[in-house]
């Protein structure tokens, strides 16, 4: 898993690219990025499948915001990002959410 950030010079935001390797995707046919930036809608941000079997998606987030997120596979398996900036307890499950700081 990898997160890359591109801070924009023209406005107070950051383009954040989220990536899952083929191993991390565990053979999933579909993966979605789910977080507080999309009101935890489980299928509104599909990740694009790469030729190597991994997945990626890029979104723009406002600066000064800590965003909680997780990945959801088409088989309804929830994954955290091993390279997240931090982890926070989830209020609805006995799990942690990944956190990206921009």
What is the pTM (predicted TM-score) of this model? 0.92
Question: In this prediction, what percent of the chain has a pLDDT beyond 70?
Answer: 99
Q: What is the pLDDT of residues 30-74, one digit of tens each?
A: 999 999 999 999 999 999 999 999 999 999 999 998 999 999 999
Bridge partners of 46? 32
**Whole-angstrom Cα distance, residue 9 to residue 25?**
33
pLDDT band at 15 (very low <50, low <70, confident <90, very high): very high
> Of 58, 50, 57, nearest to 22 (Cα)?
50
> Of 6, 2, 20, 1, nearest to 59 (Cα)?
6
pLDDT, position 93: 77
Domains of the chain: 2-101 (2.60.40.10)
């Amino acid at each position: 898993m990898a997160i890359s950030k591109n801070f924009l010079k023209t406005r107070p935001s950051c383009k954040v690219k989220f990536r899952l390797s083929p191993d991390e995707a565990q053979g999933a046919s579909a993966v979605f990025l789910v977080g507080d930036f999309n009101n935890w809608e489980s299928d509104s941000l599909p990740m694009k499948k790469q030729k190597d079997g991994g997945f990626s998606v890029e979104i723009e987030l406002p600066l000064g915001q800590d965003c909680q997120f997780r990945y959801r596979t088409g088989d309804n398996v929830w994954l955290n990002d091993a390279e997240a900036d931090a982890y926070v307890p989830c209020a609805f499950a006995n799990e942690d959410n990944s956190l990206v700081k921009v």
